[in-house]
Amino acid sequence: MDRKHRLTVSSDIQRVRSLGTSYAHPLVVLVAYPNDMPLTRFGVTAGRQLGTAVRRNRAKRRLRAALHALHRSLAPGWDGVWIARSGMTTAAWPEVERAVATLCRRAGLLTTSA
């Protein structure tokens, strides 16, 4: 996923977390909020309850990779914050992809052609 599709400013992430709608899955939580831009941006976080920095970074890499696979199917005009849960680092890859796709579908982020 390109840098322009990432939420990197903490004020943007806080805005999405406070004003957005939350969608939960046992592996990950998505908080989505509409933006006024022609692209969709995401921020990926992992809390300390996941464990060491190695485990947190692995969870974030897996989430970014799953989002990259869906990138072309995402509708423009959304900001999203993905929060990894404890099962993310040990889950099988197809399960991670399924979780991300399910949350995108529930939040209405996928285009009708996806």
Tell me phi and psi for residue 98, to 5 degrees.
Answer: -65, -40
45, 10, 28, 17: which is closest to 101 by C-alpha?
28
> Which of 58-66's residues contact partners 24+ apart within 8 Å by CB, and which partners?
58/89, 59/84, 59/88, 59/89, 60/84, 62/88, 62/89, 62/93, 62/96, 63/28, 63/88, 63/96, 63/100, 64/1, 66/96, 66/97, 66/99, 66/100, 66/101
**What is the pLDDT confidence band of residue 112, given thresholds at 50, 70 and 90?**
low
The DSSP-derived string for 24-60 is E-SSEEEEEEE-SSSS-EEEEEE-GGG-SHHHHHHHH
pLDDT reading at 99 higher than 60:
yes
User: Quick check: pTM over 0.85?
Assistant: yes
**What is the pLDDT confidence band of residue 1, given thresholds at 50, 70 and 90?**
low
Task: Tell me the pLDDT tens digit for each residue of 6-20.
Answer: 888 898 899 999 999
**What is the pLDDT confidence band of residue 50, given thresholds at 50, 70 and 90?**
very high
